[in-house]
Chains A and B, each alone.
Chain A
């Protein structure tokens, strides 16, 4: 069962409500998704895991509506993106600044692990915080996950031209923020 395709596992979940099959899907995608969400949330591990958890629950609920026209991973990322956008919108409405939330969490995490191996990931996440949510997502999917513009269009539900603009703008901002980045500084 571990080697079954995504579609076979999805069919099993939909027809027999098999939780084990869903567990395999979670196992298969959780690391990538949690890492991506950490990058999206300024390396806020708790928030990223909460969003990933909500994403998988949402996926389970709406698995019946998955048509299989797009890759399962694209569909998963689309749901995660929507979760993230609504989280930040709610946080803004509650007047709890997302960046304050992130900063607190980062300070809490600072003591737990300060290994230089993680510095690049954390610094990238920190720099990405300066970008609007849609630019962050587009940049991450393009530069880190190496998805095509068309795939990003499917995930984010925006036109191709907008995706290209978001990526170019994001790159320009990140260039300024990361121009002085050097791994030696961290050692």
Chain B
């Protein structure tokens, strides 16, 4: 019991003689870092990006030859043996890449 009281007495002595640590440099440093680290708010960042996307979209739309592009789409398709072979080849290639990627990820 006495030992317990001694520990408490020691902490009490420390509490009563606790030094006041001056704020001069510390406070200044914290406030400076707050100014530096202050992040751009999400809504601000998002609205700037939205505005950029809108302006970019409007410009692209005005210069985009939509009618030419639509007229260039073929209206008739003829599937010959070569076309079928090419599609099968492309599909096999994509399957191969998919398998390789999955296998690599597992390793």
Picked from B3, B11, B17, the residue with its CB within 8 Å of the CB of A175 is B3
C-alpha spacing A144/B12, complex, angstroms: 7
Picked from A35, A57, A117, the residue with its CB within 8 Å of the CB of B37 is A57
Picked from A19, A118, A175, the residue with its CB within 8 Å of the CB of B19 is A118
A175 with B4: CB separation less than 8 A? yes
Known A34-B21, A35-B18: A143·B26 in contact at CB below 8 Å: no
Known A19-B35, A26-B30, A26-B31: A179·B3 in contact at CB below 8 Å: yes
B27 with A35: CB separation less than 8 A? no
C-alpha spacing A96/B17, complex, angstroms: 33
C-alpha spacing A49/B23, complex, angstroms: 11
- Total of A-B residue pairs, C-beta within 8 Å: 76
Give the chain B neighbours of A49 by CB distance below 8 A.
Answer: 26
- Determine if A171 is an interface residue (Cβ-Cβ < 8 Å): yes
B34 with A121: CB separation less than 8 A? no
A30 with B23: CB separation less than 8 A? yes
- Determine if A90 is an interface residue (Cβ-Cβ < 8 Å): no
Q: Which residues of B contact A (CB under 8 A)?
A: 3-4, 6-8, 10-11, 13-15, 17-23, 26-27, 29-31, 33-35, 37
Q: Which residues of A contact B (CB under 8 A)?
A: 19, 22-23, 26-27, 30-31, 34-35, 49, 52-53, 56-57, 60-61, 117-118, 120-121, 124, 143-144, 146, 171, 174-175, 178-179, 181
Q: A26-B27, A35-B18, A143-B11 are in contact. List 17 more A-B contacts (CB 8 A).
A: A19-B34, A27-B23, A30-B21, A52-B26, A53-B30, A53-B33, A61-B37, A117-B19, A120-B10, A120-B14, A121-B18, A121-B19, A143-B8, A175-B3, A175-B4, A175-B6, A179-B6
> What are the 6 closest A-B residue pairs judged by CB atoms, nearest first?
A143-B11, A31-B21, A56-B30, A34-B21, A26-B27, A27-B23
